[in-house]
Amino acid sequence: MSKIYKTKLNHMNKYFFILLLSTIVFMQCKPTTRVEEVVTIVDPAANKKGDTFTINLKPGKHFNHPTYVVWAEDMAGNYLRTIYITESYASGIFGHQMQGDSIWLKTKGPSYQPAALPYWTHKKPGSKDGAKVPTPQNPFVDAYTGATQKKAFNFETSVTDQLPFRVLMEVNQTWDWNEHWTNNLYPDSPAYKRSAQPSVIYGVTINEKSGSYYLNPIGHGDPKGDSGKLFTNLKTMTTALHIFDTMEISLNSSK
């Protein structure tokens, strides 16, 4: 084979290799469309004659199995009803059973968490024995309860409340520390040590039967769970404000 032919062959191999490499890079860089999976839960007790009420929750970058509750109030702040609550808090049975104030078992069982959702807890009616925090002996049963979803999800139900009314949501995540909410801030409160950053409360006013509404933060709950006070200063809250990216309520009128 002549030197000229060999040179041409080498050039052809070189160009073929460059073309192949470019094709691989192009295929790897080609954008892909991701379809986010959304779980939809329908309330079996929804009133078919009421307006359709949908809660859309999309987890944020600091989402890690939080506890939360959604409820309705009148414009004077009086409790009307609970719409949705995570099963663990409503039943008093969590994924890790608590023994004493600092020992957690790997097995599912009773756990007493007064600092988890204190604002809602002190708003709702008490149980028969006067207790506020739900327990296995006195669970909260007046609402739809569900496990904490790991992905975005919709909860569809109905509303018959008279307009206008308020919808509130309280969210909390255990051991969510930051520079202000440290584990020695309230050394005499085991409830606080299990909560760290206190619960965040969100709210929105519903004044029309159709449309989309977005819940916005209005304060935080009692860090020790001793009261139902709303603390409006959120300057010390960090990751707790990013548990959810989206908290949307959509209403569709039945008329």
- pTM for this model (two decimals): 0.82
Going by C-alpha positions, the residue among 189, 199, 181, 69 that lies closest to residue 134 is 69
Q: What is the mean pLDDT of residues 61-73?
A: 95
Higher per-residue confidence, 233 vs 94: 233
Q: Where are the alpha helices (DSSP H) in the chain?
A: 3-29, 87-91, 118-123, 190-195
Higher per-residue confidence, 47 vs 137: 137
Q: Name residue, tokens 């449309």.
A: 211
Do 65 and 1 fall into the same domain? no
Do 28 and 146 fall into the same domain? no
Boundaries of domain holding 2 = 1-32
Share of the chain above pLDDT 70, in %: 79
pLDDT in tens, 161-182: 889 999 999 999 988 999 999 9
Do 70 and 23 fall into the same domain? no
- The answer to whether the beta carbons of residues 223 and 181 sit under 8 Å apart is yes
| Concatenated DSSP letters of 144-191 | EEEPPPSS-EEEEEEE-PPSSEEEEEEEE-TTB--SSS-TTSSTT-HH
Q: What is the mean pLDDT of residues 131-140?
A: 90
pLDDT in tens, 68-117: 999 999 999 999 999 999 999 999 898 655 555 555 546 677 888 899 99
Do 135 and 107 fall into the same domain? yes
Do 20 and 83 fall into the same domain? no
Q: Name residue, tokens 């991701």.
A: 34
